[in-house]
Structure 1
Amino acid sequence: MRTPLTITAKAYAIMPFVWSVGIIIGPAIGGYFATPASNFPDTILDNDLFRKFPYLLPNLICTGLMLISIVAGWLCLVETHPDMQPWSSPEDLKVTSAVTPLMATQGSSTMPAVDLRQESYGTFNTISEEEDEEEWLVKPDGTSVDDAPEQSWFTRRVMMLMIALGIFTYHSMTYDHLMPIFFQDERIPIGHETIANASSPFGNVYGSFAGGLGLTIQQCGVILAFNGIIALFVQAVVFPLAASWLGVWRTFVLVTILHPIAYFIVPFLALLPENLLYPGIYTSFTIRNVLSILDYPLLLILIKEASPSPLSLGKINGLAASTGAACRTVASPLAGLLYGIGDKVEFTALAWWASALVAVIGALQVTMIGQAKGHHLQHHVRPVFLPVDAAERARRRKSSVVRIRVQGEPGDSGCGTEEEGAFASRVYGRQASGT
């Protein structure tokens, strides 16, 4: 029998897949329909409006898709929040378990937002948790004790993982920001007459570090669409195989240490001949996707494991979301500023290698986190396409060990037999629901 928690887990696993499909379709639409007056001459699209506003058509298409989503949501979706449903009464609201949704955590524009309370972590693979332990301090009648000592949630490990999340979010966002700019920037070979002085010793007849790749908007759209296909494959196949083989912590350390490579190699694409440019671009994308797509969910898993209590997940998730949002806010303008400076001094590799330097800092910082030992919560990643053995089935039957301390007189629970039975039924009922 499927429970609401099972259905919710499957729904959260679908969202990253849909996000990946959107990453494939979105750039294809944007690249194909941009500048329609020149791409579709002698057609209805070749008019003064689209000549004056060359990017209007793809934006109109996106607006239409959003309008369809709004209408579909209004007509087909049912309100699920108990407080918002027409049948809700004041008595219902007293016993509702509805909570305000947490701010979602997101690594970059190419990664879907996730909620640490769920078990998908932005992936659509099977991630199971070992048994969890909680301790409740209750009164003899079963109600919670309001003055129970609050456990500190902002531990050193949580702080270090938040710093790692901020570093990763920053350099990952700079990649997403710089990539289309670098692809469309003019390709300038060494010795070109527009270069007053060769500011970089790197270059040849095909290109130099003074410019970009000189691709068209349509070429960029196709390339970014294929990048979405690569990301989908990495997320569905490479991530679960690597994480199940090496484990969460070792995989996280490995991809974090290797992450600077993804930024360091990008400027060298300008030095490739035409027949090797596309293989070089897709190789660069593959390296980046493997490192980035593996790094982000593993980092979220480690943050959840570092939580001292499930009751702290709300605060930790909010801090993670705020950290990611702050780093995404400063990443794009700083990356653009560095690229502009690099363009003036004829060294556009400056922005890419600055991001590589930030990734190096992240690789050094990961050594200060250290692997958690003896923690009660551990995650296991298993590919969905591999058969499930008996040990994995037992692990997936997640159970919560709840230790209950009753505040009362020594040796006296304060409850009669019937009251104890009622209280026990409430406790076991909560355990069965998976909370």
Structure 2
Amino acid sequence: MNPVLMLLCHLSGLFGTIIGPAIGGCFARPVDSFPEVFSRSGIFGKFPYLLPNVICAFLQLMSIIAGYMFLEGTHPDLLRGAAAVQHPHDFDEFGAPLSAVATAGSTAHASADLRVKSYGTFNDVDMHQDEEWDVKPDGKSYECSAAKKTKVFTYRVTMLVIALAIFTYHSMTYDHLLPIFLQDDRTGTASILGKYVLKIPGGLGLSVQTVGMIMAVNGVIALLIQAIVFPLLAEWLGVWNVFALVTVLHPIAYFIVPFLTSLPQKLLFPGIYTCLTIRNFFSILAYPVLLILIKQACPSHSVIGKINGLAASAGAACRTIAPPIAGYLYSIGSRIEFTGLAWWGSAIVAIVGAFQLYFMHGKKHTAVSVTAPSVFLHHPHQGEEEVPLIPEVIHVTVHDNT
């Protein structure tokens, strides 16, 4: 997995987190924001939140069309099958199918090895070619990746998918609760009623437009953390250590939000952006390192689709159940004047994710480098100019399927 492409993919999503809230904040209730354009008796007057949804649906349609027209499959066995039916003139002089060369060229040779602890470190050697072989324990080659009986869902893969599901759940509850909490009527401030009773009533009472701008600024904060903090921290600590750090500290992001109701008005927005910065620091770092760790744990390139499918399904299931559960807890908290109930419920789930680290461990990268030049290298005859020898480096990477 190319780290630059990984970074760009996530950054493109963060641009959406800036534009999306801005669209919602600007075009929700258009009869109030643009009374000279939209009539109260029209369809957008009857359905005040229809316009931003129509805009987002149109953008989604454009994304589907672009994906259908410009994206190609990358499954190695399917590419092999497509190459098998090509005509002889479709092959280059070395016998390689031209279509496979064209589609695999950008992905077959990653610019960095994400299996090492510093994901972005480049080997300071001249490597002419990277090749990969799948062999049996006795040294014999597999005939085809489709014929291998590889255990897909290993213990490590399963634990990482569970970690992704837990992260997806509490991250989704934050995204669901935040705009509700920001707009909910401010009925009081946080206070201690008794020795063991804490009162946190209502929300912050902000307008829809203000909430939209806060969410857009939240996207900018996330973009800066993704572009600047993530590469530096991942190189300094390593992918696994970053994952452990943000997983253990993630509950803090949920615990502190309800106390925004106790801040005076002049400190409210600095407090909001501080909470968003803390949350984005943990969330933005957690998601890409989880994807990298899942990619590392794949026992074979041919089963990446299955593992990604399981991870996507687990994440979708958690995104489905997170909003109703968080909303139900928030409604209960509103009735008992303790809206922190929903936030602290998400903090408990994040604590469960931190506890799961006890059953996981970092996976070390095993490599053997041979740097001695061959004794059969050509030596110049008398009178010939001597060409300096550059030792060839062979990197042997050993993967285990645990």
Query: What TM-score does the superposition give when structure 1 sets the normalisation length?
Result: 0.66
> What residue ranges of structure 1 are gaps of 5+ in the alignment?
83-87, 99-116, 192-196, 204-208, 378-396, 404-435
Name the structure 2 match of 1:51.
Answer: 45
Deviations 1:99-139 (CA, angstroms, capped at 9, x unpaired):
xxxxxxxxxxxxxxxxxx99899xxx98469889643359x
Q: How far did 1:348 drift? A: 1.1
Deviations 1:12-64 (CA, angstroms, capped at 9, x unpaired):
653322221121111111111211222344x2324322332222332333344
Cα separation, partners in 2 of 1:12 and 1:353, compared to 1, 3 Å: closer
- Within the candidate set 306, 311, 317, 1:315 is matched to 306
Q: SS where residue 86 of structure 2 aligns?
A: helix
Give the conservation status (yes or no) of the 8 Å contact 1:137–1:144: no
Q: How far did 1:279 drift? A: 0.6
Q: What is the RMSD of the two structures over their aligned residues, measured on CA atoms?
A: 4.2
Q: How far did 1:338 drift? A: 1.2
Q: How far did 1:147 drift? A: 10
Q: How far did 1:65 drift? A: 3.9
Name the structure 1 match of 2:316.
Answer: 325
Give the conservation status (yes or no) of the 8 Å contact 1:199–1:345: no
Deviations 1:144-183 (CA, angstroms, capped at 9, x unpaired):
1699662433332222222211211111111111111111
Q: Note the 1:156-171 alignment, pairs <5 A.
A: 156-171=155-170
Give the conservation status (yes or no) of the 8 Å contact 1:200–1:346: no
Distance in 2 between the 1:280 and 1:230 partners?
A: 14
Give the conservation status (yes or no) of the 8 Å contact 1:134–1:401: no
Name the structure 1 match of 2:292.
Answer: 301
- Within the candidate set 8, 18, 27, 1:14 is matched to 8
Q: How far did 1:219 drift? A: 0.7
Give the conservation status (yes or no) of the 8 Å contact 2:367–2:396: no
Name the structure 1 match of 2:218.
Answer: 227
Distance in 2 between the 1:146 and 1:309 partners?
A: 8
Deviations 1:227-253 (CA, angstroms, capped at 9, x unpaired):
000000000001111111111111111
- Within the candidate set 257, 264, 267, 2:255 is matched to 264
Name the structure 2 match of 1:177.
Answer: 176
Q: How far did 1:221 drift? A: 0.4
Give the conservation status (yes or no) of the 8 Å contact 1:267–1:352: yes
Deviations 1:297-336 (CA, angstroms, capped at 9, x unpaired):
1122222222333344333222222222222222122111
Q: Note the 1:195-344 alignment, pairs <5 A.
A: 201-202=197-198, 209-344=200-335
Give the conservation status (yes or no) of the 8 Å contact 1:25–1:225: yes
Q: SS where residue 284 of structure 1 aligns?
A: helix
Distance in 2 between the 1:221 and 1:291 partners?
A: 22
Distance in 2 between the 1:92 and 1:317 partners?
A: 29
Aligned letter for 1:176? D
Give the conservation status (yes or no) of the 8 Å contact 1:338–1:350: yes
Name the structure 2 match of 1:416.
Answer: none
Q: How far did 1:276 drift? A: 0.8
Aligned letter for 2:40? N
Aligned letter for 1:18? S
Distance in 2 between the 1:199 and 1:67 partners?
A: 55
Q: SS where residue 85 of structure 2 aligns?
A: helix
Cα separation, partners in 2 of 1:398 and 1:347, compared to 1, 3 Å: farther
Q: How far did 1:91 drift? A: 3.1
Aligned letter for 2:323? S
Cα separation, partners in 2 of 1:185 and 1:245, compared to 1, 3 Å: same
Aligned letter for 1:158? V
Name the structure 2 match of 1:188.
Answer: 187
- Within the candidate set 14, 17, 25, 1:23 is matched to 17
Aligned letter for 1:55? Y
Cα separation, partners in 2 of 1:376 and 1:365, compared to 1, 3 Å: farther
Q: How far did 1:359 drift? A: 0.7
Give the conservation status (yes or no) of the 8 Å contact 1:339–1:350: yes
Q: How far did 1:89 drift? A: 11
Aligned letter for 2:51? L
Name the structure 2 match of 1:92.
Answer: 86
Cα separation, partners in 2 of 1:37 and 1:263, compared to 1, 3 Å: same
Name the structure 1 match of 2:357.
Answer: 366
Distance in 2 between the 1:398 and 1:173 partners?
A: 45
Aligned letter for 2:26? Y
Give the conservation status (yes or no) of the 8 Å contact 1:38–1:46: no
Distance in 1 between the 2:84 and 2:151 partners?
A: 35
Aligned letter for 2:290? L
Name the structure 1 match of 2:385.
Answer: none
1:37 aligns with 2:31: yes
Aligned letter for 2:153? F
Name the structure 2 match of 1:413.
Answer: none
Q: Note the 1:43-192 alignment, pairs <5 A.
A: 43-49=36-42, 50-66=44-60, 77=69, 80=72, 91-92=85-86, 127=120, 134-136=133-135, 144=143, 150-189=149-188
Identity of aligned residues (%): 50
Q: SS where residue 299 of structure 2 aligns?
A: coil
Q: How far did 1:284 drift? A: 0.5
Give the conservation status (yes or no) of the 8 Å contact 2:135–2:141: no
Aligned letter for 2:41? D
Name the structure 1 match of 2:336.
Answer: 345
Distance in 2 between the 1:371 and 1:402 partners?
A: 16
